[in-house]
Amino acid sequence: TLPAVAFVGLGNMGGPMSARLVGAGYTVTGFDPVPDARAALADAGGRTAESAADAVRGAEVVVLMLPSSAVVEAVLGDPALLDALGEGATVVDMSSSDPMSTRRLATGLAARGVTLVDAPVSGGVKGAENGQLTIMAGGAEDAVERLSPLLAVMGTARRAGEVGAGHALKAVNNLLSATHLLATAEGVLAGERFGLDPAVMVELINSSSGRSGSTDNKFPNFVLPGTYDSGFGLRLMVKDMRIAVGLARELGVASPLADRAVALWEDALAALPDTADHTEIARWTFAASAD
Protein backbone atom coordinates (compact mmCIF):
# COMPACT_ATOMS: atom_id res chain seq x y z
CA THR A 1 0.00 0.00 0.00
CA LEU A 2 1.11 3.53 -0.76
CA PRO A 3 2.10 5.81 2.14
CA ALA A 4 -0.24 8.66 3.10
CA VAL A 5 1.32 11.90 1.87
CA ALA A 6 1.08 15.47 3.13
CA PHE A 7 2.13 18.17 0.65
CA VAL A 8 2.94 21.64 1.98
CA GLY A 9 3.47 24.40 -0.59
CA LEU A 10 1.23 24.11 -3.67
CA GLY A 11 2.73 26.85 -5.86
CA ASN A 12 4.16 26.78 -9.39
CA MET A 13 6.05 23.56 -8.65
CA GLY A 14 4.17 22.04 -5.72
CA GLY A 15 0.87 22.33 -7.59
CA PRO A 16 1.76 20.03 -10.50
CA MET A 17 3.98 17.78 -8.34
CA SER A 18 1.17 17.08 -5.85
CA ALA A 19 -1.29 16.52 -8.72
CA ARG A 20 1.02 13.87 -10.18
CA LEU A 21 1.12 12.03 -6.84
CA VAL A 22 -2.68 12.04 -6.78
CA GLY A 23 -2.68 10.72 -10.34
CA ALA A 24 -0.36 7.89 -9.30
CA GLY A 25 -2.82 6.78 -6.62
CA TYR A 26 -1.37 8.42 -3.50
CA THR A 27 -3.71 9.91 -0.91
CA VAL A 28 -2.39 13.46 -0.74
CA THR A 29 -3.46 16.08 1.79
CA GLY A 30 -2.17 19.50 0.79
CA PHE A 31 -1.83 22.87 2.41
CA ASP A 32 -0.97 26.30 1.04
CA PRO A 33 -2.08 29.65 2.48
CA VAL A 34 -3.31 30.64 -1.01
CA PRO A 35 -6.93 29.42 -1.43
CA ASP A 36 -6.60 29.03 -5.23
CA ALA A 37 -3.63 26.72 -4.74
CA ARG A 38 -5.67 24.50 -2.41
CA ALA A 39 -8.61 24.57 -4.83
CA ALA A 40 -6.35 23.35 -7.65
CA LEU A 41 -5.29 20.30 -5.61
CA ALA A 42 -8.92 19.57 -4.71
CA ASP A 43 -9.81 19.77 -8.42
CA ALA A 44 -7.03 17.27 -9.16
CA GLY A 45 -8.59 14.85 -6.66
CA GLY A 46 -6.48 15.60 -3.58
CA ARG A 47 -7.58 16.48 -0.06
CA THR A 48 -6.86 19.86 1.47
CA ALA A 49 -6.25 21.06 5.01
CA GLU A 50 -6.58 24.46 6.66
CA SER A 51 -3.08 24.40 8.13
CA ALA A 52 0.21 22.58 7.63
CA ALA A 53 -0.28 20.94 11.03
CA ASP A 54 -3.64 19.54 9.94
CA ALA A 55 -2.16 18.34 6.65
CA VAL A 56 0.64 16.32 8.27
CA ARG A 57 -1.54 14.55 10.85
CA GLY A 58 -1.38 10.84 10.01
CA ALA A 59 1.00 11.30 7.08
CA GLU A 60 3.90 8.90 6.64
CA VAL A 61 5.63 11.18 4.15
CA VAL A 62 5.53 14.99 4.34
CA VAL A 63 6.67 16.75 1.17
CA LEU A 64 7.66 20.42 1.39
CA MET A 65 7.83 22.64 -1.72
CA LEU A 66 8.30 26.06 -0.15
CA PRO A 67 10.03 29.28 -1.22
CA SER A 68 13.03 29.27 1.12
CA SER A 69 14.72 27.85 4.22
CA ALA A 70 13.19 30.67 6.27
CA VAL A 71 9.72 29.35 5.40
CA VAL A 72 10.78 25.70 5.83
CA GLU A 73 12.14 26.56 9.29
CA ALA A 74 8.91 28.37 10.21
CA VAL A 75 6.76 25.42 9.08
CA LEU A 76 8.92 22.78 10.79
CA GLY A 77 9.33 24.93 13.90
CA ASP A 78 5.58 25.22 14.51
CA PRO A 79 4.81 23.36 17.76
CA ALA A 80 1.35 22.37 16.46
CA LEU A 81 2.92 20.76 13.39
CA LEU A 82 5.57 18.99 15.46
CA ASP A 83 2.81 17.59 17.69
CA ALA A 84 0.88 16.38 14.66
CA LEU A 85 3.93 14.82 13.00
CA GLY A 86 4.00 11.14 13.85
CA GLU A 87 7.16 9.40 15.06
CA GLY A 88 8.64 7.47 12.15
CA ALA A 89 7.44 9.99 9.57
CA THR A 90 9.77 11.18 6.81
CA VAL A 91 9.93 14.84 5.81
CA VAL A 92 11.13 15.41 2.24
CA ASP A 93 12.20 18.99 1.58
CA MET A 94 12.02 19.37 -2.20
CA SER A 95 12.42 23.16 -2.01
CA SER A 96 15.75 24.73 -2.97
CA SER A 97 16.84 25.29 0.61
CA ASP A 98 20.06 26.21 2.39
CA PRO A 99 22.02 23.00 3.14
CA MET A 100 23.36 24.33 6.45
CA SER A 101 19.79 24.96 7.63
CA THR A 102 18.79 21.51 6.37
CA ARG A 103 21.50 19.82 8.43
CA ARG A 104 20.35 21.64 11.58
CA LEU A 105 16.71 20.76 10.94
CA ALA A 106 17.62 17.10 10.34
CA THR A 107 19.33 16.88 13.72
CA GLY A 108 16.36 18.44 15.50
CA LEU A 109 13.84 16.17 13.78
CA ALA A 110 15.93 13.04 14.35
CA ALA A 111 15.62 13.67 18.11
CA ARG A 112 11.84 13.31 17.64
CA GLY A 113 12.12 10.13 15.55
CA VAL A 114 11.46 11.99 12.28
CA THR A 115 13.75 11.53 9.27
CA LEU A 116 14.58 14.46 6.99
CA VAL A 117 15.57 13.91 3.38
CA ASP A 118 16.39 16.79 1.04
CA ALA A 119 15.29 16.25 -2.56
CA PRO A 120 15.43 19.51 -4.52
CA VAL A 121 14.64 19.45 -8.20
CA SER A 122 15.63 20.83 -11.58
CA GLY A 123 13.46 20.88 -14.68
CA GLY A 124 11.05 23.75 -14.10
CA VAL A 125 7.28 23.83 -14.21
CA LYS A 126 7.22 21.72 -17.37
CA GLY A 127 9.33 19.03 -15.73
CA ALA A 128 7.00 19.13 -12.72
CA GLU A 129 3.95 18.66 -14.97
CA ASN A 130 5.53 15.83 -16.99
CA GLY A 131 7.15 14.03 -14.08
CA GLN A 132 10.53 14.66 -15.65
CA LEU A 133 12.34 16.49 -12.88
CA THR A 134 15.90 15.70 -11.93
CA ILE A 135 15.80 15.06 -8.19
CA MET A 136 18.99 15.49 -6.12
CA ALA A 137 18.50 13.55 -2.92
CA GLY A 138 20.42 13.88 0.34
CA GLY A 139 19.95 11.62 3.34
CA ALA A 140 20.50 8.16 4.75
CA GLU A 141 20.62 5.49 2.04
CA ASP A 142 17.68 3.50 3.40
CA ALA A 143 15.52 6.63 3.76
CA VAL A 144 16.18 7.70 0.16
CA GLU A 145 15.60 4.13 -1.02
CA ARG A 146 12.20 3.98 0.74
CA LEU A 147 11.17 7.19 -1.02
CA SER A 148 12.23 6.08 -4.46
CA PRO A 149 8.77 4.95 -5.73
CA LEU A 150 7.26 8.28 -4.65
CA LEU A 151 10.09 10.33 -6.14
CA ALA A 152 9.84 8.35 -9.39
CA VAL A 153 6.34 9.77 -9.91
CA MET A 154 7.90 13.24 -10.09
CA GLY A 155 11.15 12.55 -11.87
CA THR A 156 14.46 10.75 -11.82
CA ALA A 157 16.07 10.73 -8.41
CA ARG A 158 19.67 10.12 -7.57
CA ARG A 159 21.22 10.17 -4.10
CA ALA A 160 23.96 12.79 -3.91
CA GLY A 161 25.11 12.08 -0.34
CA GLU A 162 24.10 12.62 3.28
CA VAL A 163 21.39 15.04 4.36
CA GLY A 164 21.99 18.51 2.88
CA ALA A 165 23.92 17.15 -0.11
CA GLY A 166 20.97 17.63 -2.44
CA HIS A 167 20.48 21.21 -1.35
CA ALA A 168 24.18 22.00 -1.72
CA LEU A 169 24.20 20.52 -5.21
CA LYS A 170 21.04 22.39 -6.21
CA ALA A 171 22.50 25.72 -5.04
CA VAL A 172 25.63 25.15 -7.11
CA ASN A 173 23.52 24.10 -10.11
CA ASN A 174 21.46 27.27 -9.94
CA LEU A 175 24.52 29.46 -9.48
CA LEU A 176 25.81 28.01 -12.76
CA SER A 177 22.41 28.30 -14.43
CA ALA A 178 22.07 31.96 -13.41
CA THR A 179 25.62 32.79 -14.48
CA HIS A 180 25.09 31.08 -17.84
CA LEU A 181 21.86 33.01 -18.43
CA LEU A 182 23.49 36.36 -17.78
CA ALA A 183 26.54 35.45 -19.87
CA THR A 184 24.28 34.28 -22.70
CA ALA A 185 22.38 37.58 -22.64
CA GLU A 186 25.61 39.59 -22.91
CA GLY A 187 26.99 37.35 -25.64
CA VAL A 188 23.83 37.25 -27.74
CA LEU A 189 23.49 41.01 -27.45
CA ALA A 190 27.02 41.57 -28.76
CA GLY A 191 26.41 39.14 -31.62
CA GLU A 192 23.16 40.85 -32.51
CA ARG A 193 24.85 44.26 -32.62
CA PHE A 194 27.36 42.71 -35.00
CA GLY A 195 24.49 41.66 -37.25
CA LEU A 196 23.86 38.07 -36.23
CA ASP A 197 20.37 36.62 -35.89
CA PRO A 198 19.96 35.63 -32.19
CA ALA A 199 18.01 32.49 -33.15
CA VAL A 200 20.81 31.36 -35.45
CA MET A 201 23.41 32.12 -32.79
CA VAL A 202 21.60 30.06 -30.17
CA GLU A 203 21.03 27.18 -32.57
CA LEU A 204 24.70 26.97 -33.53
CA ILE A 205 25.90 27.41 -29.95
CA ASN A 206 23.67 24.46 -29.07
CA SER A 207 25.87 22.21 -31.18
CA SER A 208 29.02 23.93 -29.91
CA SER A 209 30.93 24.17 -26.66
CA GLY A 210 29.12 27.25 -25.35
CA ARG A 211 25.80 25.43 -24.94
CA SER A 212 23.94 25.35 -21.62
CA GLY A 213 20.43 25.21 -20.25
CA SER A 214 20.22 28.88 -21.19
CA THR A 215 20.96 28.27 -24.88
CA ASP A 216 18.99 25.04 -25.23
CA ASN A 217 15.95 25.96 -23.12
CA LYS A 218 15.68 29.43 -21.65
CA PHE A 219 16.63 31.49 -24.71
CA PRO A 220 14.57 29.57 -27.29
CA ASN A 221 11.53 29.14 -25.02
CA PHE A 222 11.29 32.31 -22.92
CA VAL A 223 13.77 35.02 -23.99
CA LEU A 224 13.75 35.04 -27.80
CA PRO A 225 9.92 34.77 -28.05
CA GLY A 226 9.77 37.65 -25.52
CA THR A 227 7.37 35.82 -23.17
CA TYR A 228 9.65 35.74 -20.08
CA ASP A 229 7.25 33.31 -18.39
CA SER A 230 9.23 30.26 -17.23
CA GLY A 231 7.35 30.11 -13.91
CA PHE A 232 10.54 30.44 -11.84
CA GLY A 233 10.81 33.78 -10.08
CA LEU A 234 13.85 36.05 -10.24
CA ARG A 235 13.63 36.47 -6.47
CA LEU A 236 13.94 32.70 -6.04
CA MET A 237 16.97 32.53 -8.34
CA VAL A 238 18.73 35.27 -6.35
CA LYS A 239 17.90 33.32 -3.17
CA ASP A 240 19.63 30.26 -4.67
CA MET A 241 22.70 32.23 -5.74
CA ARG A 242 23.01 33.68 -2.25
CA ILE A 243 22.90 30.17 -0.81
CA ALA A 244 25.73 29.10 -3.14
CA VAL A 245 28.04 32.05 -2.49
CA GLY A 246 27.21 31.90 1.22
CA LEU A 247 28.27 28.28 1.23
CA ALA A 248 31.51 29.11 -0.60
CA ARG A 249 32.26 31.87 1.92
CA GLU A 250 31.46 29.65 4.90
CA LEU A 251 33.78 26.96 3.51
CA GLY A 252 36.61 29.38 2.72
CA VAL A 253 36.29 29.08 -1.07
CA ALA A 254 36.93 32.28 -3.04
CA SER A 255 34.24 32.90 -5.67
CA PRO A 256 35.00 36.22 -7.40
CA LEU A 257 33.04 35.40 -10.58
CA ALA A 258 30.00 34.21 -8.62
CA ASP A 259 30.16 37.27 -6.36
CA ARG A 260 30.02 39.52 -9.42
CA ALA A 261 27.17 37.53 -10.94
CA VAL A 262 25.13 37.75 -7.72
CA ALA A 263 25.71 41.51 -7.55
CA LEU A 264 24.31 41.93 -11.07
CA TRP A 265 21.31 39.71 -10.34
CA GLU A 266 20.69 41.69 -7.15
CA ASP A 267 20.70 44.93 -9.18
CA ALA A 268 18.05 43.40 -11.46
CA LEU A 269 16.04 42.23 -8.45
CA ALA A 270 16.05 45.78 -7.07
CA ALA A 271 15.04 47.28 -10.42
CA LEU A 272 12.27 44.84 -11.42
CA PRO A 273 8.85 44.09 -9.95
CA ASP A 274 8.82 41.56 -7.14
CA THR A 275 6.98 39.04 -9.33
CA ALA A 276 9.49 39.16 -12.22
CA ASP A 277 10.36 35.84 -13.85
CA HIS A 278 14.05 34.92 -13.60
CA THR A 279 14.40 35.04 -17.41
CA GLU A 280 13.79 38.81 -17.12
CA ILE A 281 17.51 39.06 -16.29
CA ALA A 282 18.08 38.86 -20.06
CA ARG A 283 15.63 41.66 -20.91
CA TRP A 284 17.17 43.75 -18.10
CA THR A 285 20.64 43.15 -19.58
CA PHE A 286 19.41 44.15 -23.05
CA ALA A 287 17.76 47.30 -21.66
CA ALA A 288 20.90 48.35 -19.77
CA SER A 289 22.80 48.32 -23.07
CA ALA A 290 20.12 50.31 -24.88
CA ASP A 291 20.71 53.43 -22.72
Asked whether 178 and 234 are in contact (CB, 8 A), the reply is no
CB under 6 A: which stretch of 38-46, 141-149, 228-236, 249-257 binds ligand NAD? 228-236
- By beta-carbon proximity to ligand NAD, the closer residue of 133 and 201 is 133
Using CB under 6 A as the binding rule, whether residue 65 contacts ligand NAD is answered as yes
Question: Nearest approach, Cβ of 67 to ligand NAD (angstroms)?
Answer: 5
Choose which of 12, 29, 173, 212 interacts with ligand NAD (CB under 6 A). Answer: 12
Q: Return the range that interacts with ligand NAD (CB under 6 A); candidates 22-30, 64-72, 79-87, 217-225.
A: 64-72
Which of 90, 95, 173, 212 is the binder for ligand NAD (CB under 6 A)? 95
Choice between 7 and 201, CB closer to ligand NAD: 7
**C-alpha closest to that of 241 among 185, 183, 165, 178:** 178
DSSP string, the chain: -PPPEEEE--STTHHHHHHHHHHTT--EEEE-SSHHHHHHHHHTT-EE-SSHHHHHTT-SEEEE--S-HHHHHHHHT-HHHHHHSPTT-EEEE-S---HHHHHHHHHHHHTTT-EEEE--EESHHHHHHHT-EEEEEES-HHHHHHHHHHHHHHEEEEEEESTTHHHHHHHHHHHHHHHHHHHHHHHHHHHHHHT--HHHHHHHHTTSTT--HIIIIIIIIIITTT----S-BHHHHHHHHHHHHHHHHHTT---HHHHHHHHHHHHHHHHS-TT-BTTHHHHHHHHHHH-
Considering only residues 112 through 151, tell me which ones interact with ligand NAD, judged by CB under 6 A.
121-122, 124-125
Q: Round to whole Å and give the CA distance between 31 and 71.
A: 14
Shortest distance (Å) from residue 251 CB to ligand NAD:
21
Residue of 126, 170, 218, 239 marked active site: 170
- The nearer residue to ligand NAD, 73 or 258, going by C-beta atoms, is 73
Which residue among 63, 66, 201, 276 contacts ligand NAD (CB under 6 A)?
A: 66
Closer by beta carbon to ligand NAD, 202 or else 236: 236
8 backbone dihedrals φ, ψ, rounded to 5°: -110, 115
166 belongs to the binding site for ligand NAD (CB under 6 A): no
170 as an active site residue: the answer is yes
Return the range that interacts with ligand NAD (CB under 6 A); candidates 27-35, 145-153, 187-195, 283-291. 27-35
Q: To the nearest whole angstrom, how small is the minimum distance from the Cβ of residue 110 to ligand NAD?
A: 22
Q: Does 231 interact with ligand NAD (rule: CB under 6 A)? A: yes
Would you say 69 or 184 has its CB closer to ligand NAD? 69
What are the residues binding ligand NAD (CB under 6 A)? Answer: 8-14, 31-34, 37, 52, 65-67, 71, 74-75, 95-96, 121-122, 124-125, 231-232, 236, 240
Active site residues: 170
